[in-house]
């Protein structure tokens, strides 16, 4: 979208508990080598060709990154999923209920251009290969944006991706129905080509083992009508959450690089909402991308997305070359 957003006693020095003053920090921090060891003997299920299909535009992820970062994460998530399903089975037996399984819900959040979509697709591919979780669905929150006509009427078209541009009630209802175990739940679909919600198309979710919900806003609390704090939060329905992180200056650089790549690819499509960008000179395109970041995506990151980072269960922090350099896991 071109928004107009372990145990504490380890002997390893890279796995450590941070402290703020006298209060223990909420997260355990892992270096890549120590994190990779946690995958144990998990085999690499992806080929280079499959990874190429998963990788987002501009992403430089390779199979080594999958092995070092995402395989251990998939193992952790698989263990969590099995544990939650066991608890649910015990409760169902206690209640003498005949309600079928309830999906394990994973939220993936982060800035525009940080690689959260690639992370979500990677987790979907890896988790679907674990025994017991063959059905893994992925839904993005883009479909829950208000249609362009509504945004224009409300003067919000230039704030697409900000919290107020989403139909949060519909998003909350969708996640609540999935978590309630409804056999089929429909989500609206969004087209990046036409930059709008597709009114006549839906994505139907049918009893998945795992649902991955990816978007800028999944960890935001939002406000109810009149500025009141809502009684139910979207995150109340999540079993695990991942925040993909990097320094803002790095993300801005990736955003501009992606914009320039799209100028040579998707923007050339005559049906593209952004086809006028393909006619810009290189300098005009660079200036336009930088301006969009400085006026829209950057402020949205600082004001609305970055403040939710500490609410995630796990944070993947990336460096200049898109590689995850550290992993922070919230204490249980």
- Distance (Å, whole) CA 135 – CA 248: 35
* Number of domains within the chain: 1
Strand-pair category, 136-140 with 210-214: parallel
Tens of pLDDT along 104-146? Answer: 999 999 999 999 999 999 999 999 999 888 899 999 999 999 9
Domain assignment of residue 6, yes or no: no
Q: Per-residue pLDDT for the chain (332 aa), expressed as one digit of tens each?
A: 444 433 333 333 344 444 433 335 789 999 999 999 998 888 888 988 999 989 877 778 899 999 999 999 999 999 999 998 888 888 888 988 877 678 999 999 999 999 999 999 999 999 999 988 889 999 999 999 999 999 999 999 999 999 999 999 999 999 999 998 898 999 999 999 999 999 999 999 999 999 999 999 999 876 555 666 667 789 899 999 999 999 999 999 999 999 999 998 999 999 999 999 999 999 999 999 999 999 999 999 999 999 999 999 999 999 999 999 999 999 87
**What is the value of pTM for the model shown?**
0.89
- Distance (Å, whole) CA 187 – CA 200: 11
Tens of pLDDT along 34-52? Answer: 999 998 888 888 988 999 9
Q: Domain holding 300: CATH number? A: 3.40.50.300
In terms of Cα–Cα distance, which of 197, 132, 144, 148 is closest to 175?
144
Domain assignment of residue 195, yes or no: yes
Q: Which domain holds residue 131?
A: 16-330
Q: How many residues does the chain have?
A: 332
Domain assignment of residue 192, yes or no: yes
């Amino acid at each position: 979208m071109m928004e107009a957003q372990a145990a504490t006693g380890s002997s390893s020095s890279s796995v450590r508990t941070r402290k703020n003053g006298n209060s223990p920090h909420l997260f355990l921090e892992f270096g890549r080598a120590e994190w990779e060891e946690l995958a144990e003997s998990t085999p690499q299920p992806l080929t280079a060709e499959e990874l190429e299909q998963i990788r987002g535009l501009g992403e430089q992820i390779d199979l080594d990154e999958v092995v070092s970062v995402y395989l251990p994460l998939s193992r952790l998530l698989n263990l969590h999923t099995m544990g939650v399903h066991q608890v649910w089975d015990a409760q169902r037996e206690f209640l003498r209920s005949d309600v079928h399984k309830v999906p394990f819900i994973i939220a993936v959040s982060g800035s525009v251009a940080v690689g959260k979509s690639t992370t979500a697709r990677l987790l979907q591919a890896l988790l679907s290969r674990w025994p017991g979780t063959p059905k893994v669905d992925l839904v993005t929150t883009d479909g829950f944006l208000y249609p362009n006509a509504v945004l224009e009427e409300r003067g919000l078209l230039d704030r697409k991706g900000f919290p107020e541009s989403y139909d949060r009630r519909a998003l909350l209802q969708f996640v609540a129905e999935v978590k309630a175990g409804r056999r089929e739940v429909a989500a609206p679909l969004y087209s990046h080509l036409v930059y709008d919600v597709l009114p006549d198309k839906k994505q139907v979710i049918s009893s998945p083992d795992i649902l991955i919900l990816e978007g800028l806003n999944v960890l935001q609390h939002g406000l109810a009508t009149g500025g009141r704090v809502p009684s139910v939060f979207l995150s109340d329905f999540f079993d695990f959450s991942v925040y993909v992180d990097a320094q803002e200056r790095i993300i801005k650089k990736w955003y501009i690089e992606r914009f320039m790549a799209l100028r040579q690819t998707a923007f050339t499509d005559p049906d593209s909402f952004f086809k006028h960008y393909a006619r810009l000179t290189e300098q005009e395109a660079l200036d336009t991308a930088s301006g969009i970041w400085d006026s829209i995506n950057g402020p949205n990151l600082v004001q609305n997305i970055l403040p939710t980072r500490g609410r995630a269960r796990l944070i993947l922090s990336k460096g200049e070359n898109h590689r995850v350099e550290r992993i922070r896991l919230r204490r249980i």
